[in-house]
Amino acid sequence: MLSTRFTELFGITHPVVQGGMQWVGRAELVAAVANSGALGFITALTQPTPDALAAEIARCREMTDMPFGVNLTMLPSITPPPYAEYRDVIIDSGVKIVETAGNSPAEHMPAFLAAGVKVLHKCTSVRHAVKAEALGVHALSIDGFECAGHPGEDDVPGLILIPAAARALRVPVIASGGFADGRGLAAALALGAEGVNMGTRFMCTAESPIHRTIKQQIVDATELDTELIFRSLRNTARVASNTVSREVVSALAGGGAFDDIRHLVSGARGRTVYELGDPEAGIWSAGLSQGLIHDIPTVDELVTRIVAEAADLIQGRLAGLCDRSEAVLVDS
C-alpha cells in the first residue's frame, strides 16, 4: 500500500483518482473505483438535471459504501447549467468530496466549506492553482499537456508542471495527464505529487459505461492518435483522431470560425460515440496515455496492478540503484 497526504486527507486506500468525464463518470464506474480503494467522481453535468444527479448519487451508494465524489465542471456558456442547483444537490445528498474544474470555484467554496465538503480543484497552470489554494481548496489536480480534454493554452507537460506545482503549493498535488500504469504513479510521486488522476485509462475498463468497440479503439491506438482542436479559438482540447476531429483541425487552420464547425463538435454526437460504438460518429476525448493501454481489465485489477507495480519500482529497482551507488562508493 502507498500512503500519502492525499490518501489520508480524503480517506481512501490508494493514491489513484478517476476524475470527472462527460458521459463516462457514471455510478457503475465510480462505485467500482471506490470499491477498489481509489477515488472516483460522478460527473454532475452528465446528468440532465439536478434531480437526476441526486438519483445517480443514490444509485452509486447502492453499489458501494466507500468514499466517492462528484465532479462539477464550470465552463463559459451562453446558457450555463444551474451550477448552484447541482452544488446544492451534492451537499444535500451528503457527498463529502467534490472535484471542481473549468472556471474558478470561488462562487461555490463558501457553501462547500460550510458543509464540510473537501474540494479537489483541477487546473492546468501553477498560477491558477495558487489562486485556488488561496480560496481554501484542499488539494489540486494539475493537468499536463498530455491529458485528454482541455490542457489549457500553456502547453506545459507534466514533467515540468508537476514539480513546479508541488514546489509552489502547500496542499497535496495530484498529477494528471498521461498516467496509465505503475511507472507513471512512481514517477508522479518522485516529482512531488501525492497521487495520480487517470481518465483515458479508466475509460478502458470492464465497468466503464461506454461501448466495447470504443474501448478496443483505445487499446489499438498509439500516443500519436490524438488531435488538438480549437487551438485558434484559445480553447484547446485533446481528442481522439478520427475523420471528424481532423476535419475540425483543417477547417480552423484554414481560417474558419466556430460556427463553421459547430455541427461537428456537438456533445450529442460525442455521446453517440460512446453509446453506439462508432468511433467516427463525433468528437470524443482521449489522452496520450492511450499509447500505454493494452488491455481492458476490471477496475479492481487495474488499481491493484498499478499500485503494486509502483511499490515494486520504488522498493525494488529504484532502491537497488541507490544500493548499487553506495557499493560503488565503498569499493572506490
pLDDT digits (tens, 9 = 90+) for 37-95: 999 999 999 999 999 999 999 999 999 999 999 999 998 777 899 999 999 999 999 99
Tally the domains of the chain.
1
Q: Is residue 234 part of a domain?
A: no
Name the packing angle between helices 27-35 and 50-61 (round to 10°): 40
For residue 77, what pLDDT is reported?
A: 77
Q: Which bin fits 136, alpha (ψ -120 to 50), beta or left (φ > 0)?
A: left
- Helix, coil or strand: residue 95: coil
Q: Is residue 107 part of a domain?
A: yes
For residue 327, what pLDDT is reported?
A: 56
Q: Which tops the pLDDT comparison, 166 or 75?
A: 166
DSSP-derived pairing of the beta strands 196-198 and 16-18: parallel
Contact between residue 143 and residue 169 where contact means Cβ atoms under 8 Å apart: no
Q: Is residue 84 part of a domain?
A: yes
Residue 86: enclosing H or E segment and its boundaries? helix 83-92
- The band of 332, judged by pLDDT with boundaries at 50, 70 and 90, is low
- Helix, coil or strand: residue 43: strand
Contact between residue 239 and residue 274 where contact means Cβ atoms under 8 Å apart: no
Q: Is residue 83 part of a domain?
A: yes
Q: Is residue 311 part of a domain?
A: no
Contact between residue 166 and residue 191 where contact means Cβ atoms under 8 Å apart: yes
DSSP 8-state class, residue 30? H
Contact between residue 21 and residue 285 where contact means Cβ atoms under 8 Å apart: yes
Residue 125 CA to residue 323 CA, distance in Å, equals 37
Contact between residue 81 and residue 103 where contact means Cβ atoms under 8 Å apart: no
The alpha helices in 36-181, defined as continuous H runs, are 50-61, 83-92, 109-114, 126-135, 158-168
Give pairs for 262-268: CB < 8 Å, separation 24+.
265/229, 267/22
State which residues form the domain around 38: 5-209
Q: Is residue 22 part of a domain?
A: yes
Mean pLDDT of 203-225: 98
- Helix, coil or strand: residue 17: strand
For residue 1, is pLDDT > 90?
Answer: no
Q: What is the CATH number of the domain that holds 109?
A: 3.20.20.70
Q: Is residue 79 part of a domain?
A: yes
Contact between residue 125 and residue 154 where contact means Cβ atoms under 8 Å apart: yes
Residue 319 CA to residue 290 CA, distance in Å, equals 29
DSSP 8-state class, residue 231? G
DSSP 8-state class, residue 317? I
- The band of 9, judged by pLDDT with boundaries at 50, 70 and 90, is very high
Sequence letter at residue 290: Q
For residue 325, is pLDDT > 70?
Answer: no
Residue 246 CA to residue 155 CA, distance in Å, equals 20
The label of the residue with cell 447549467 reads 81
- The band of 329, judged by pLDDT with boundaries at 50, 70 and 90, is low
Q: Is residue 105 part of a domain?
A: yes
Q: Which tops the pLDDT comparison, 201 or 329?
A: 201
Sequence letter at residue 286: A
